[in-house]
Amino acid sequence: MNRLVGRGFQPITSLTKPDGTRWSVKEKLLLGLTPQDYMAVQMRNPFNWLLWLIYAIGLPVLVGRFIYGLGWATHGSYDYPWGLFLAWGLFTMVPLSASGFMMGTTVELFGRKDFKPIERLGLLNGLLGYLFAVMFLQVDLGQPWRLIYPMFVSLGPAAVLFLVAWHVATYLSCQVAELVPAYSEWMGLPKAKKAIKSIVLGLTVAGIILSTLHQGALGALFTYAPGKVHPLWYSSTFQWFLFLNSAIFAGLSMLIVVSTLSKWFLRWRCDDNFKQNLDQLTVGIAKGAALALITYLVLKIIAIAHDNKWEYLFTGWGQWYVFEIAVGVIVPLILYTRAVRNESASLARLSAFIAVFGIALNRLNTALITFNWKLYQEVPHWREVVIVITVYATYIVVYRAILARLPILYTWKERS
């Protein structure tokens, strides 16, 4: 597409064609190209070949999981009831999707309208991250068709997971509502946008409450396993806050990562408003991430001091812990700080990639690597890995498809 635009092709940015007639939905779905051109564009993209390869292997395995059961797709471990599906799909995807409530808060609640060009990307990143976290959950649940049981059939309101279920469900609807304006512009339904505009503050505050609690709740889930999670990754008092706190820089860093990828690979879809503001906004986001990181670092140390766990630092697990903190927290903290000082967006981008790696490492450590540290190390079954890659590939496909169409990276011409 970048090449087409280079040759003078104009992507859709309004309801009407240059000659005054309206775009049909089909034309909009095909990005304003003829079906032949659209197919040609898709075939030219080497990333799509990779996707085909992933699906060729992954889809049969994914189908197999539902035919032959979890015991076929995973090791079916009784000691490690949660494997990669949740460690990656839920515990890592959800903090990386905290950008939705962060951007909503910045723009709508604190009135920082200068972040507007990247707000919708933050919201979309949030929505899709949560949506696919639910997809991963559906792959992992023994009886996914009973997903709504905790809502309507049999309620266990004193359980942490009950809170997660309700909050993720309500927050998902909240995020859908927050993105209705983008959809309404694209479809030409100004009324829907107006309706959302009138309740946007309520939605934003609801987003903050729900995010505070369910990001924290994901951490609190591990407080059920005091003897199983390694003490360095465990804190009965602070676990929930550490998860919430790290979700803040995780979400912000992921937003920088996604905006960078969009800038590189979807350049044709970004308008000047987005492109010209992005560097400055990236530095602004870096500032927030740096603040969250320093808070997190201090709290991590306090958590160890609070339970007097210093001695564990001098074990093998302790070295692994120091590695996680050094690479996942201290390095991005220094890089972000320098990026803010020097107003260097590229340094902030580098830092964001490292911070995303760091948060993934932290969540995998808590849920899988240091879990059952007294027993043995579980290495996921290859089918489990294939399924994770397949679902994640779908996440990327959906993400890219929406970015290419809805006014996320560009501003719609008709502003109602």
Query: Where along the sequence are the contacts to another protein (CB under 8 A)?
Result: 66-72, 74, 76, 78-79, 81-82, 105, 109-111, 140-144, 146-147, 149-150, 153-156, 158-165, 201, 204-205, 208-209, 212-213, 216-217, 219-221, 223-228, 236-237, 239-240, 375-378
Closest approach of another protein to the CB of residue 162, in Å: 4
Q: Residue 46 CB, nearest distance to another protein (Å)?
A: 37
Nearer to another protein, 204 or 394 (CB): 204
Closest separation in Å from C-beta 5 to another protein = 37
CB of 43 or CB of 151, closer to another protein: 151
Q: Which CB atom, from 20 or from 142, has the smaller least distance to another protein?
A: 142
How far apart are the C-alpha atoms of 414 and 14, rounded to whole Å? 6
d(C-alpha 22, C-alpha 379), whole Å = 55
Residue 102 or 339: the one with the smaller Cβ distance to another protein is 102
Distance CA 195, CA 177 (A): 10
Based on CB atoms, which residue is closest to another protein, 256 or 285? 285
Query: Smallest distance from the beta carbon of 192 to another protein, in angstroms?
Result: 23
Residue/partner pairs of 302-309 with CB below 8 Å, 24 or more apart: 302/238, 303/235, 303/237, 303/238, 303/242, 304/232, 306/235, 306/237, 306/238, 307/231, 307/235, 307/236, 307/237, 309/231, 309/232
Shortest spacing between CB 366 and another protein, in angstroms: 12
Q: Answer whether 12's CB lies under 8 Å from 5's CB.
A: no
Distance of closest approach, residue 121 Cβ to another protein, in angstroms:
22
Closest CA to 314 of 209, 402, 231: 231
* Chain centroid to CA 365: 18
| Cβ closest to another protein, residue 97 vs residue 239 | 239
Written in H, E and C, the secondary structure of 68-115 is HCHHHHCCCCCCCCCCHHHHHHCCCHHHHCCHHHHHHHHHHHCCCHHH
